[in-house]
Amino acid sequence: MAAPLLEMRQVSRTFPGVRALDGVSFSVGPGEVVGLLGENGAGKSTLMKILAGVYRADAGEILWEGKRIAFRSIHQAQEAGVTLIFQELNNCPNLKAIENLFLGREIFRGRSPFLDEAAMRKKALELFDYLDVHIDLDVEVRLLSTAVQQMIEIAKALLTNVKLLVMDEPTSSLTDRETSRLFKVIRDLKQRGVSVVFISHKLSEVFEITDRIAVLRDGRNAGEVDAKTGTMDELINRMVGRELGSRAARVGTAVPGPEILRVEGLSGPPTVKDVSFTLRKGEILGFAGLIGAGRTEMARILFGAAKKTGGRVLLEGKDVRIGSPRDAVALGIAYLPEDRKVQALVLPMNVRENLTLAVHRVLRRFRAFLGRKKEEEITDSYVSSLRIRIATREQVVNDLSGGNQQKVVIAKWLATRPRILILDEPTRGIDVAAKAEVHRIVSDLAAEGVSIILISSELPEILALSDRVLVMHEGRVKTVLEKDQATQQTIMSAALVADGVVVRA
């Protein structure tokens, strides 16, 4: 291999409470297409964002064309020849295709401030011709398909002197035809000496398009797989690790009781398709799958926060209609959303006010006034039972640590005395100690007879807590694994591999 275009050495980065990258090395040669794989949260995006100057590394060094650099902004990285195409496309939906293409790189008439429309048009047509796409330059970008918008992003990169193109999940919303066209473009770029980093969860595609595949696991290097000679098994094993991980099994697991919830054919396009499952009293049902597999959307539909287009929900055998979160709460269903700051907490309010937000029904006297005493009693009882560390009940939740904030949200829902508790990434972004406490709370609840749906992207968490594990893939239920069948390997295979692809287990 020639001298590498990019070499990242021993890069580390810590976020509050999380070691996102721990001494990761990664290199790309000129004209090489490298796959970058790992589970959700393995550190792929962080690594690329450090490369592009979005984050700074705490330690380690980056060599670009043999020289030590640290880009300070996406713009600076672009100038040097590194372009990132993010999963969420960065364009202005209200502007036309051509306006987006030249945004920040407009061609002017000489030195005047006036735009040279003709020159830009000519250049745009050349580029799109080269990419073999036909785009009406005057259509607003929001009206174009994701695939076409992606092509515009690539064209944008080609406007600069791109040497390394990083694509984060570029095919996640593309059809097969669009994907093959994208691959043709990637091969062509490779011919011209442009290097590509390809991040994807679609393993077969990764094998098809890349030269070699670098794997990250828990923020560390987990080896490489040669795309020509390696196998899918080898790749999956590297991603999840050969050892089964710390499987702190639940203690005192009660035998789950009778069926409490039955979901039949639940649909809510575009992300949830025909989802059916059952949940028993006191059971913890793990929901595994990739980000975007439709787990959160399923939960939101079940909770009445998103529209249902088909299917039915039976609670204790009775057909129920859940049209809003209000209906769900009245039926004893609670939902802890994945983003606590955006979706769960009223940040400027205090602990007491947040903790009692869902139980005004119980607190109201004469149908209007909130009983302050009762509020304080409820708050105090959960603060002590969940060991929430606060100075006073009147402390603003914004000032609490992530773990304590999450406990306030859990307490808010426990105060409603739910029969079914849906937890969406309950331990995201909280420290190890708080995580263990949340796990304890969850298993205690199940032992008390609360039925729990646990959505988590952390397989050890799912494995440690769940009685059964349901795996979703592209909006559908791929499989339901009993506790003794569920391992990191079986779950990841189900979550990653499209139907029809055989994995030798």
Which residues contact other proteins (rule: CB under 8 A)?
Answer: 303, 305, 324-326, 328-330, 335, 337, 342-349, 353, 357-358, 360, 363-364, 368-370, 372, 391-392, 395, 399, 412, 416
Nearer residue to other proteins within complex by CB, 215 or 400: 400
Would you state the structure tokens that stand for residue 386, as one six-digit string?
A: 């969940």
Q: Could you tell me the smallest distance in angstroms from the CB atom of residue 154 to other proteins?
A: 34
**Least distance CB 367 / other proteins (angstroms):** 9
CB 370 → other proteins: shortest distance, Å? 5
**Across-strand partners of 498?**
none
Token pair for residue 467? 């009685």
CB nearer other proteins, residue 408 or residue 495:
408
As measured in angstroms, the least distance from the Cβ of 417 to other proteins is 13
Strands 318-320 and 369-370, how do they pair? unpaired
Identify the burial level of 479 via C-beta atoms within 10 angstroms of its C-beta, where 0-12 means exposed, 13-18 middle and 19 or more buried: middle
CA 23 vs CA 8, 89, 216, 238, 497: distances in Å: 10, 29, 11, 17, 29
Choose between 375 and 467: whose C-beta lies nearer to other proteins.
Answer: 375
Least Å distance, CB 351 to other proteins, is 11
**Nearest residue (CB) to other proteins, 43 versus 337:** 337
Q: What angle do CA 476, 435, 339 make, to 5 degrees?
A: 55
> What letter represents residue 346's amino acid?
V
The minimum distance between CB 390 and other proteins, in angstroms, equals 8
Least CB distance from residue 103 to other proteins, whole Å?
Answer: 27
Task: Give residues with Cβ within 8 angstroms of 205, minimum separation 6.
Answer: 171, 179, 183
Alpha carbon 290 to its chain centroid, in Å, reads 7
CB of 325 to other proteins, least distance (A): 5
**How far apart are CB 384 and other proteins at their closest, in Å?**
14
Sheet containing strand 195-199, edge to edge, reads 82-85, 164-168, 195-199, 33-37, 212-217, 220-226
Q: How far is the CB of 383 from other proteins (least distance, A)?
A: 12
Determine the Cα–Cα distance for residues 422 and 458; give it in Å rounded to an integer.
16
* Residue 121 or 393 with smaller CB distance to other proteins: 393
The residue (of 274 and 394) whose beta carbon lies closer to other proteins is: 394
Counting Cα atoms < 13 Å in the Cβ hemisphere of 23 gives: 1
Q: Residue 348: CB partners within 8 Å, gap ≥ 6?
A: 396, 398
Residue closer to other proteins by CB (options 131, 409) is 409
Is the CB of 384 or the CB of 392 nearer to other proteins?
A: 392
Considering the complex, state which of residue 179 and residue 379 has its C-beta at the smaller distance from other proteins.
Answer: 379
Task: Name the region of 492 (left: φ>0; alpha: ψ -120 to 50; beta: rest).
Answer: alpha
Question: At closest approach, how far in Å is the CB of 484 from other proteins?
Answer: 35
Return the number of the residue (422 or 471) whose C-beta is nearest other proteins: 422
- C-beta of 329: minimal distance to other proteins in Å? 3
Nearer Cβ to other proteins (265/323) = 323
In angstroms, the CA 436 to CA 348 distance is 27
* Non-local CB neighbours of 419 within 8 Å, separated by 6+ positions: 260, 281, 331, 332, 333, 450, 451
User: Given the complex with other proteins, which of 287 and 335 has the nearer CB atom?
Assistant: 335
Contact predicate 439/465, CB 8 Å: yes
Beta bridge partner(s), residue 214: 36, 224
Indicate the DSSP class of residue 340. Answer: I
For 198, the token pair is 């390809």
- Read off the amino acid at residue 395: Q
214 membership: H or E segment, kind and range: strand 212-217
Enter the tokens of residue 210.
Answer: 């890349």
- Rounded-to-10 torsion of CA 498, 34, 178, 127: 170
Q: Residue 480's CB: how many other CB atoms inside 10 A?
A: 17
